[in-house]
Chain A
């Protein structure tokens, strides 16, 4: 089975002070990593390959820095890496990123495409479902369980309230992977050694039959206008002091509030 996994390199803002500069945030000091959802997608692909054989191609849209997450995918067990880039892609919205991926993927051989259900930076959740529509193949997103049998995928989609939707779709298909579907492995030194011997194929817009007008702000139907710090609607009363003091004060407050 030949699998394509789409990955994205994102800044980790979970513990950082985010500083807005124009239409972006300051990223120089932020650690970057593979999008968490994509990491689960790569692991899922590697487990499928271990079971059924075949190849895995990791693909990413982005500048040279994106190679880092492609190499990570190769180190986890993927066979080939592809990066698509042109300066014109800056400012592309989610649908346009899907368009770029579709243009590259339609000429490739695949039985299954895996992506993260969403990305930790922009959180749009557009790519898997839009990509499937463009390629004219079935899809399912927010998938927390995946079984492949007889050219079909039995998937469990995570709904709200702890409910799962179970469905069967024909392959090839695009599956948007939800976190928790598996336990992603660590990158091993042996994996890194293998990955560093592989060349990552670079595709420009011309290689995939697109022009600069098709991508970026020009090719997108949505445009980012402005970033701002979310207005604070409510702020917790912060209990000051060292941990022991604060904990004691909190215990008193809980008593006063009648919850103890």
Chain B
């Protein structure tokens, strides 16, 4: 019976959510393909993590080696390509994360296998993998078919919800001889500098996007946040332009927040941003573009120019709060 490989992603001894999401998604795919699910866990001293994976997979394939302690794309590639050559899984799933993006394309090229990245859905048609991925800033879904009989796909964080596992996969440990990669050295992790505000602790967040247009306009939204008794956060482009510090960024490469109120102002709602705020209590979006994806996660929306709405909103909230 053929296997579906799911590469477990972990950092600092913790398995990341995307691992369980992929394992959940892989189970459906496995049914369609008549395959089993194998969690592939590479690391150092990973027994505990392996135990956690058991209920989500038919098998947990472990390579435990000190050289695998920290993620290193080149070392992981060497081990993974050997495992794929030996086991010939029909599909290999890797998270479309900073980890997966640094690994999957090189792996696919080395093995000569087709690669689809950032998939939000996985399907099997006549034994082939057919994926759905989003293009043009989330405005179009593309169905992509992979040729051949072995496939690699990277999966977007949050694409599948985690379904509690009822399996009891066997833990199988393999040893792989790992060559050194002197041309790539891991030096360490660095936390982004922490400022005076911790947005993850706030009940009310006013979050601002690219449409704020200029650093000089930041006070406008800061005042709204002040009136609400909340904090000001932002989407990636605002940090890229240095209008707000990195620790204010909401999204997959920033902070995950769950406030009571998330007020998204001039934010289009790229999935990376949505990943950081979708579990907020009440979500309100103000955006000029009625087709902006943010309106698909928001509870309420105003389709208009933020510069016209925000000043009035601020005054009204002030009135109500007395």
Residue numbers of A with Cβ under 8 A of B are: 11, 13-15, 17-18, 20, 25, 94-95, 98, 117-118, 120-130, 132-134, 138-142, 154, 156-170, 176, 179-180, 183, 220-239, 242-244, 246-248, 250-255, 257, 259-260
**B52 interface residue (CB < 8 Å to A):** no
In the assembled complex, how far is the CB of residue A94 from the closest CB belonging to chain B, in whole angstroms?
Answer: 7
A247–B105 CB distance below 8 A: no
- Give the interface SS of chain A, mostly helix, strand, loop or mixed: mixed
> In the complex, A247→B282 CA distance in Å?
16
Report the nearest A residue to B146, measured CB to CB: A222
> In the complex, A112→B96 CA distance in Å?
25
A167–B301 CB distance below 8 A: no
> In the complex, A141→B253 CA distance in Å?
14
Known: A139-B106, A162-B249, A250-B284. A221 touches B190 (CB 8 A): no
Q: Which of B114, B115, B143, B254 interacts with A161 by CB under 8 Å?
A: B254
Number of interface residues of B (CB under 8 A): 103
> In the complex, A119→B118 CA distance in Å?
13
> In the complex, A7→B311 CA distance in Å?
41
**B85 interface residue (CB < 8 Å to A):** no
Q: Which of B136, B252, B301 interacts with A160 by CB under 8 Å?
A: B252
A230–B117 CB distance below 8 A: no
> In the complex, A161→B305 CA distance in Å?
30
Report the nearest B residue to A179, measured CB to CB: B240
B145–A134 CB distance below 8 A: no
A-B contact pairs, 13 of them (CB 8 A): A121-B135, A138-B74, A156-B190, A166-B187, A179-B237, A228-B140, A230-B139, A244-B312, A251-B317, A252-B320, A253-B300, A254-B320, A259-B261
Q: Looking at the complex, which of B29-37, B54-62, B215-223, B289-297 is the stretch in contact with chain A?
A: B289-297
Complex contacts, A254 vs chain B, CB 8 Å: 261, 282, 284, 317, 320
In the assembled complex, how far is the CB of residue B62 from the closest CB belonging to chain A, in whole angstroms?
Answer: 23
A165–B295 CB distance below 8 A: no
For window 229-269 of B, CB contacts with A under 8 Å fall at 236-237, 239-242, 246-247, 249, 252-256, 260-261, 268
B282–A257 CB distance below 8 A: yes
A130–B109 CB distance below 8 A: yes
In the assembled complex, how far is the CB of residue B266 from the closest CB belonging to chain A, in whole angstroms?
Answer: 11
Complex contacts, B139 vs chain A, CB 8 Å: 13, 18, 229-230
* Shortest Cβ-Cβ A-B pairs, 4 listed: A221-B114, A180-B240, A251-B316, A236-B301
> In the complex, A130→B112 CA distance in Å?
11
In the assembled complex, how far is the CB of residue B227 from the closest CB belonging to chain A, in whole angstroms?
Answer: 10
Complex contacts, B160 vs chain A, CB 8 Å: none
A235–B296 CB distance below 8 A: yes
